[in-house]
Amino acid sequence: MTLDYSERMGSIKASEIRELLKLTQKPEIISFAGGLPAPELFPVEIVKEMSAEVLDEMGTQALQYGPTEGFDPLREKIAKRMKKFGVDTEAKNILITSGSQQGLDFTGKIFLDKDDVVLCESPSYLGALNAFKAYQPKFIEVPTDNDGMNMDELEKILESTDNIKVIYVIPDFQNPSGRTWSVERRKRIIELANKHNLPIVEDNPYGELRFEGEMPPSIKSFDTEGRVIFLGTFSKTFCPGFRLGWTCAEYEVLNKYILIKQGADLQASTLSQMILDRFLTKYDLDEHIEKIKAVYVKRRDLMLKTMEEEFPKEVSFTRPEGGLFTWVTLPEHINARDLATKAIEKKVAFVPGGSFFPNGGNENTFRLNYSNMDEERIVIGVTRLAESIKEMI
């Protein structure tokens, strides 16, 4: 028996990362593949305490249906936290989602008809590309450099292309490249979006994990017309197993996301929202983030140092000021998928870069995560990886 599926299913494949993650669950594998936070930093005891308090004090409410928009006290706290990103907003502009991933899926649903165009950075986040693909768009990749998306190239594309519906960007410690946009480009993209009346989806899962320098204002902070949709998450600053993220947008736009959330899954978990809300009331999330950063900065430093020492000099890589990833470029004749096969024999895993380019190519790139492995395993893993690369050069 073969059923008749929708046309969109022809273009939807398993995420290479999710499939890899299954392989890498074996403890002997040194995995730089996922975007997993360091679990030893999760506030397990505090979550336990908050969970008990919520259930003691408001147990029946915590287990009942709640509003689609989310638990109001949590929405208020998130609205206030948006100040960190330079955004002055209110609870009514916040929708609680099942991770920021859900905000990506909703973005596709809300803006994309078949054959519409999504502009994205080249490379871009694989999970976003997969979410959008369900709505059958075309992707145009805008070239990037160390300061983010190239604005002159963006302008050219905007002026020469019909049916562009969304500009999707990750301006802080981009996934997969680890790069951060300059302030000037953040201002410039707003001007261009205003001129062409386009929404910008600003995905910011990592911005709060800055190890050095000042956090630049978000693109949304320069938005005077309400066209930036900001996606945030607690997956990297609190814990991913809660599946809590948010969408922040002008009410007129956010209301579309709320309507879609109703049909998609009614609401986020009431209990999870209340536990997180209580954590934010009784503890200082920023203090917790400092603890995370203190660990990650050492891991990044050690990974970069080992790469510098061990990788052949034909191999280049980015030097992220925060976040979870560095991005490696091999000599053009080396295919990172072949390298991945070699590396997995040495029990080291990473994600080949090709899948971060929606239109293919760039098979000589790959992404390394440094947040999830301890320092010893980082040194061993990068050294083994260097051996595999040398064998291929």
> Interface residues for its own copies in 20-49 (CB under 8 A)?
21-22, 34, 36-37, 39-40, 42, 44-45, 47-48
Binders of its own copies: how many residues, by CB under 8 A?
86
Alpha helices by DSSP H, listed for the chain, are 16-23, 44-63, 72-81, 99-111, 126-133, 151-160, 183-196, 251-265, 270-282, 285-310, 336-345, 375-392
By CB under 8 A, residue 117 contacts its own copies: no
C-alpha to C-alpha distance for 135 and 7, rounded to whole angstroms: 10
DSSP 365: E
By CB under 8 A, residue 67 contacts its own copies: yes
**147-166 positions binding its own copies, by CB under 8 A:** 165
By CB under 8 A, residue 262 contacts its own copies: yes
By CB under 8 A, residue 98 contacts its own copies: yes
**Candidates 73-81, 254-262, 276-284, 324-332; binding stretch for its own copies (CB under 8 A):** 254-262
**198-217 positions binding its own copies, by CB under 8 A:** 198-199
Is residue 30 a contact partner of residue 371, using CB atoms and an 8 Å limit? no
**Candidates 75-83, 251-259, 345-353, 384-392; binding stretch for its own copies (CB under 8 A):** 251-259
By CB under 8 A, residue 393 contacts its own copies: no
**163-182 positions binding its own copies, by CB under 8 A:** 165
**Candidates 140-148, 269-277, 361-369, 376-384; binding stretch for its own copies (CB under 8 A):** 269-277
Nearer to its own copies (CB atom), residue 197 or residue 345: 197
DSSP 80: H
C-alpha to C-alpha distance for 32 and 17, rounded to whole angstroms: 11
Q: Long-range contacts for 221-227 (Cβ within 8 Å, ≥24 apart)?
A: 221/85, 221/86, 221/87, 222/186, 222/187, 222/190, 223/190, 224/190, 224/194, 225/194, 226/250, 226/252, 226/253, 227/193, 227/194, 227/197, 227/198, 227/199, 227/200, 227/253
Answer for which of 94, 95, 112, 339 binds its own copies (CB under 8 A) is 112
Answer for which of 70, 123, 127, 216 binds its own copies (CB under 8 A) is 127
C-alpha to C-alpha distance for 78 and 363, rounded to whole angstroms: 39
Q: How far is the CB of 295 from its own copies (least distance, A)?
A: 14
Q: How far is the CB of 27 from its own copies (least distance, A)?
A: 12
Nearer to its own copies (CB atom), residue 59 or residue 361: 59
Answer for which of 23, 83, 145, 241 binds its own copies (CB under 8 A) is 241
**341-370 positions binding its own copies, by CB under 8 A:** none
By CB under 8 A, residue 220 contacts its own copies: no
Is residue 58 a contact partner of residue 213, using CB atoms and an 8 Å limit? no
Is residue 126 a contact partner of residue 104, using CB atoms and an 8 Å limit? no
By CB under 8 A, residue 283 contacts its own copies: no
Helix (H, G, I), strand (E, B) or coil at 94: strand
